[in-house]
Structure 1
Amino acid sequence: MPLPHVKSDRRYTSAQQFAYEELRAWILNGVLQPDETVRDVEIAEFLGVSRTPVREALIRLGQEGLVEASASRMTRVAPLPLDRASHLFQVGATLDALAAELAAPHMTESDLHLMRGLLDTLNQTTAPDRLSALDEEFHRVYYRRAANPVLIETLDSIDEQLRRIERHIWGYVRVHEEAYEEHRVLLEALGAGDATGAAAAARHNWHRSWQRIDELLKPASAEAAQEPR
């Protein structure tokens, strides 16, 4: 079970919250991979806490569907939730399109400048975790300009649930190239104040994202499921 080279310097109110936040970040950001065994002794030693807060953190993560107990009673990182992802992408496509439509008439030059910079950086980046983060930052610029806090909260929740899958898919060069072009078209529509075009571009980006995941990750997931544990 590989762990990070350094511990986070963030401060928490309790050892349990510390263990929970660290483990959760490792899972979402791909430090701990799907189906990987999680050993509370190693984690406790690495974090400098006792095993009790680590076990409590694992219970919380289990309730969130991020870890699960295997047949041998070992705890492991949960597989990627690909079946649920199809529904999340369906809802996300509609809501992201709405955010783009609402935001388009109100985008400022500062917003567009920031998005251009993020898109340029995305085009020059290859690390999957960084690409995933840049993608989220890009979308959040116009989420904020949509000025609908309920919409933003819902989209943030969907993005968080999809983060593990998105990080894996960004490792493919084809995804990187196609996504760059989809984001460029979206940015162009936002820059022109074209609400209809921006909504269509945002919806297309989400639909293509799911199609790529379905093509690239589902076959590997099905093959892994047939292997004996």
Structure 2
Amino acid sequence: MPRKAVADRKSRADDVSRTDYVFQYVRDAIQKGELRQGMRLREEDLADLLGVSRTPVREALGRLVARGLVELAPGRGLMIAQLTSTKIIELYSLRAILEGAAARFAAEHVSPTEIKILRQMVEQCFDAATPAEAAAWNLQFHRMIFEVARNRYLLPAVLDLHDSVSLLPGTVFDTPGRKDTVLREHTAIVDALERRDPQAAEIAGRDHVLASKDIRMMQLFSRSPEGMK
């Protein structure tokens, strides 16, 4: 292979790795709340901050737009996506379907050891000292159900949706009493899994997500009635 072709391939590989680096940086910053809805993103600023050229930044931002985490606002340029009430309903409605399906599949494959681990996660979520800690355990609980479902396509799909949920400020556990209801909802899911009852597991998984949707809508309205549009 000619040296120039080899060099071109290496350069392209470097750009891809840098693109992944920029993509992951912005994604993590959104999940940590460092980049919030409506904040502008400038290619040159990110390039300077991360020590890369604008090409991988541009490609990473394109991927983030495709994932719905960044959007192009007329007259403002690229910015962190904003979730309206309509988007929240669409997001949680799809999550409810996927998480219900995951619970149904999990009921067919779950082992006694996995049931034990899931129950421990339920307790850890309830015993969490802060809303953020409870949210972290909640995410681990849901992720494990997707792994127990033994379906290679479900987990990547739902993780994309969880990325979009991270655009929302705070967590459902900021709402008083939500940790108590989550305990009951999580327990209902695990009980159905232990009974190997796919239908009950699907219903419990779906209802749990829809309850979270109602909390998110209430939070959105309490912060800004304009956000309900």
Q: Same fold (TM over 0.5)?
A: yes
1:108-137: per-residue Cα shift (whole Å, max 9, x none)? 121012212222221233555544442232
Q: CA deviation at 1:58?
A: 2.7
1:213 corresponds to: 216
SS class of match (2:177) = helix
1:144-183 mapped onto 2 (5 Å cutoff): 144-165=147-168, 168-183=171-186
Judge which range, 130-139 or 107-116, deviates more: 130-139
Bigger Rg, which one: 2
Whether the 8 Å CA contact 1:103–1:143 is kept in 2: the answer is: yes
SS class of match (1:68) = strand
Amino acid at match of 1:196: Q
Instruction: Name the count of aligned residue pairs.
Output: 216
Whether the 8 Å CA contact 1:16–1:57 is kept in 2: the answer is: yes
Q: CA deviation at 1:35?
A: 1.4
Which residues of structure 2 form unaligned runs of 5+? 1-13
Which residues of structure 1 form unaligned runs of 5+? 1-10
Whether the 8 Å CA contact 1:29–1:129 is kept in 2: the answer is: no
1:140-197: per-residue Cα shift (whole Å, max 9, x none)? 3232333333444444443343343385434334333322321122222222333333
Q: CA deviation at 1:70?
A: 4.5
1:72-116: per-residue Cα shift (whole Å, max 9, x none)? 535431212542231232233233223223322432121012212
Whether the 8 Å CA contact 1:126–1:171 is kept in 2: the answer is: no
Q: CA deviation at 1:13?
A: 5.2
1:77 corresponds to: 80
Judge which range, 24-33 or 156-165, deviates more: 156-165
1:123 corresponds to: 126
Distance 1:151 1:19 in 2: 25
1:135 corresponds to: 138
Distance 1:25 1:171 in 2: 21
1:96 aligns with 2:91: no
Q: Percent identity?
A: 26
2:46 corresponds to: 43
* Residue of structure 1 aligned with 2:61, choices 58, 70, 90: 58
Distance 2:46 2:131 in 1: 24
Q: Name the CA shift for 1:73/1:136 in 2 (closer, same or farther; >3 Å).
A: same
Whether the 8 Å CA contact 2:47–2:57 is kept in 1: the answer is: yes
2:20 corresponds to: 17
SS class of match (1:76) = strand
SS class of match (2:71) = strand
SS class of match (2:83) = coil
Q: Name the CA shift for 1:134/1:147 in 2 (closer, same or farther; >3 Å).
A: same
